[in-house]
Amino acid sequence: MHGTQLIGLLAILFMLLSTYLCSRGMTGIKIMSSIGGIFMILMNVIFILTSILILCLNRGQLAEPIHGISSFIVSPNKSFQTPITIISFVVYAIFAYGGMETVGGVINNMKKPEKEFPRGLIIGSLFTIISYVLMIFMTGFSVNYQQDILHGNANSEVFTNYKWTVALVVFVEIIVCTGIVFTIVEPILEGNYATAFWTGFGPVFFALIAWIFYEVSRRRNHIDE
């Protein structure tokens, strides 16, 4: 069993454990929230300490050299060097807030929700943004984009096999579609048909747009099915 398989197996076990604990009520949800927070902090700490250790072993030499202020503004990835793509990268900052609305249901279990909840959102957002930016910078301690990523063997070998690629795509689509179906079923059972309609309309609409882009690109490049 190689590393990718081990991580996949651990992820499955973790999801089973999460489902079991969350089904036990608020106590289980608190436990999973604590576990998730602890692992996130540990992951950041381990990455930061490892990056510092690598920097020390390399005697302060960065794998991704800094060439003035432009190194912090211009991405080594050519896909993110135009003004539009740079602005589009700002969307990742939204990830600091993504999913936080799901904790709204636990507000009533706080002692002073009017103070603790906003404070928690602010602290969590700042921690996520700072750690995100810091770890992107510290990735340059050990990784050179041109050598290790652009010209390296960074892609997974599994995608070189057509059958494996199709199997993985079908598996992911089944999971996504199952989640969408259950998301639609809930408002229907509650009589909220408008929410159910728009919940289902969104994935169908964007899937149609993706299919149109794919067909246009396929015909433009004369690619046969």
For 98-113, the pLDDT digits (tens) are: 556 556 666 666 777 7
Low-confidence ranges of the chain (pLDDT < 70): 1-4, 26, 28-29, 86, 88-109, 148-160, 224-225
Domain that holds residue 52: 1-61
Query: Are both 198 and 219 inside the same structural domain?
Result: yes
Query: Are both 165 and 128 inside the same structural domain?
Result: no
pLDDT digits (tens, 9 = 90+) for 29-48: 677 777 777 887 888 888 88
Q: Rounded distance, CA 216 to CA 212, Å? A: 6
Joined tokens for residue 90: 């700002």
What's residue 165's pLDDT? Answer: 79
CA 217-219-224 angle, 5° bins: 110
Query: Are both 124 and 73 inside the same structural domain?
Result: yes
Q: Rounded distance, CA 152 to CA 162, Å? A: 21
Query: Are both 68 and 150 inside the same structural domain?
Result: yes
Q: Rounded distance, CA 42 to CA 55, Å? A: 20
Query: Are both 84 and 49 inside the same structural domain?
Result: no
Query: Are both 149 and 90 inside the same structural domain?
Result: yes
Query: Are both 117 and 135 inside the same structural domain?
Result: yes
Query: Are both 27 and 50 inside the same structural domain?
Result: yes
Cα 130 versus chain centre, distance: 16
Query: Are both 73 and 46 inside the same structural domain?
Result: no
Picking from 124, 154, 184, the residue at the C-terminal end of a domain is 154
How many structural domains are present in the chain? 3
Nearest of 140, 48, 40 to residue 96 by alpha carbon = 40
DSSP state at residue 223: -
Query: Are both 100 and 181 inside the same structural domain?
Result: no
Query: Are both 70 and 147 inside the same structural domain?
Result: yes
Q: Rounded distance, CA 204 to CA 164, Å? A: 26
Picking from 154, 189, 213, the residue at the C-terminal end of a domain is 154
pTM of the complete model: 0.50
Query: Are both 48 and 73 inside the same structural domain?
Result: no
Picking from 34, 61, 88, the residue at the C-terminal end of a domain is 61
What's residue 53's pLDDT? Answer: 92
Compute the half-sphere exposure of residue 114: CA atoms within 13 Å on the CB side of its CA: 0
